């Protein structure tokens, strides 16, 4: 059986370095299997998050050969074996230990979003054609790979004023819910900073659930913000009607 060499980051936010491990390759093996091999046979204290090992929970995110991936869905036989396979923690989050990062920021952002609030006296009839686009957003497994690659977070560190692609997807799922009755447009503009996104589609590229984050969630939400705040005709209409400004 052939061997692979893995170069895995060991350490924390302050100190750390990559360490090499030799792992025997089995048919169909994924990178997470290789990490489990290291735990079971070489270094039992290697810290890795994982749960389902089937691409459904979004726990095992890391950067494999520099690319943000779910390690449970990254086949070893899809990677070049002539050089070590590098496995590093997600770069945009502080390292707790080895491949485990502090993703608590995401949970804080989520708390800012007003929940689903149904229209009064609804009869709860919904039709599949109205739901298809929302169900796409509901596929999100919260692996946070999109948050990790977004340059607003990764390079510009705007965690305090920006929500990130994951939460634009979540807001989209609420805003486009056929029976929802709340507007989150002000939140998008002011607290989630959707204006920072300049639609480079990095998030869409890494999404393991193949959600069209940019095209189907972010761009329509940006349009809603523009309609509400920057459309001169709407501004005029509001002025004439004396409607309160959505500030």
Partner 1 sequence: MTNQTKYETHEHDVLIIGAGGAGLRAAIEGLAAGARVAVVSKSLLGKAHTVMAEGGIAAAMANVDKADSWRTHFRDTMRGGKLMNNWRMAQLHAQEAPERVRELEQWGALFDRTSDGDILQRAFGGHTFKRLCHVGDRTGLEMIRTLQDRGVQMGFDVFMECTIIRLLTDGKRVVGAFGYWREQGRFVVLKAKAVVMATGGIGKAWRVTSNSWEYTGDGMALAYDAGAELLDMEFVQFHPTGMVWPPGVQGILVTEAVRGEGGILRNKEGQRFMEKYDPKRMELSTRDVVARSIYTEVREGRGSEHGGAYLDISHKPAEYVKQKLPSMYHQFKELADVDITKGPMEVGPTCHYMMGGIKVEAETAASSLPGLFAAGEAAAGLHGANRLGGNSLSDLLVFGRRAGLGAAAYASKAPAASIDDAQIAEAERDMLAPFDRGEGENPYTVHRDLQEVMQNLVGIFRVEEDMTKAMGELEKLKARAARVRVEGSRLFNPGWHLSKDLKSMLTVSEAVTRSAMARKESRGAHSRIDFPKLDEQVWGRQHNLITRDGAGMKLQQIPVDAIPGELNELLADEK
C-alpha radius of gyration, the chain, whole number: 21
Which residue among 4, 6, 23, 29 contacts partner 1 (CB under 8 A)? 29
Which residue bears the tokens 């080895």?
A: 98
Give the count of beta carbons closer than 10 Å to the beta carbon of residue 102. Answer: 12
**CB of 234 vs partner 1, minimal distance in Å:** 29
Give the residue among 106, 40, 98, 32 at the shortest CA–CA distance from 70.
32
Helix (H) or strand (E) holding 31: helix 31-37
Q: Is 237 in the site for partner 1 (CB under 8 A)?
A: no
**Based on CB atoms, which residue is closest to partner 1, 85 or 222?**
85
Which residue among 125, 232, 242, 245 contacts partner 1 (CB under 8 A)? 125
Give the residue among 47, 192, 218 at the shortest CA–CA distance from 105.
192
Which residue among 19, 67, 73, 186 contacts partner 1 (CB under 8 A)? 73
| Total number of residues that touch partner 1 (CB under 8 A) | 55
**CA distances for 244 relative to 124, 226, 241, angstroms:** 31, 17, 9
**Based on CB atoms, which residue is closest to partner 1, 176 or 222?**
176
Which positions from 93 to 112 touch partner 1 by CB under 8 A, shown as an x/- string? Answer: ---xxx-x--x---x--xx-
Residues 239, 155: Cα–Cα separation, whole Å:
40
Which residue among 13, 20, 51, 183 contacts partner 1 (CB under 8 A)? 51
Which positions from 155 to 194 touch partner 1 by CB under 8 A, shown as an x/- string? Answer: -------------------x--x--x--------------
């Amino acid at each position: 059986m052939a061997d692979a060499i893995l170069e895995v980051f060991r350490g924390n936010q302050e100190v750390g370095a990559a360490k090499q491990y030799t792992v025997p390759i089995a048919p169909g093996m994924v990178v997470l299997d290789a990490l489990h091999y290291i735990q079971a046979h070489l270094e039992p204290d290697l810290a890795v998050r994982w749960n389902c090992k089937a691409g459904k929970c979004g726990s095992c995110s890391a950067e494999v050969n520099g690319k943000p991936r779910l390690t449970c869905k990254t086949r070893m036989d899809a990677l070049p074996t002539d050089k070590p396979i590098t496995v590093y923690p997600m770069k945009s989050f502080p390292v707790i230990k080895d491949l485990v990062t502090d993703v608590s920021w995401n949970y804080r952002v989520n708390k800012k979003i007003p929940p689903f609030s149904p229209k009064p006296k609804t009869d709860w009839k919904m039709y599949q054609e109205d739901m298809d686009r929302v169900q796409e957003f509901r596929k999100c497994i919260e692996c946070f790979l999109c948050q990790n690659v977004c340059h607003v977070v990764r390079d510009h560190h705007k965690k305090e004023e920006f929500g990130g692609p994951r939460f634009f997807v979540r807001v989209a799922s609420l805003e486009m819910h056929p029976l929802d009755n709340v507007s989150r447009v002000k939140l998008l503009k002011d607290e989630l900073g959707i204006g920072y996104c300049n639609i480079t589609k990095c998030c869409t590229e890494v999404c393991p659930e193949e959600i069209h984050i940019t095209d189907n969630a972010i761009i329509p939400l940006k349009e809603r913000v523009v309609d509400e705040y920057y459309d001169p005709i709407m501004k005029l209409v509001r002025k004439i009607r004396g409607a309160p400004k959505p500030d």
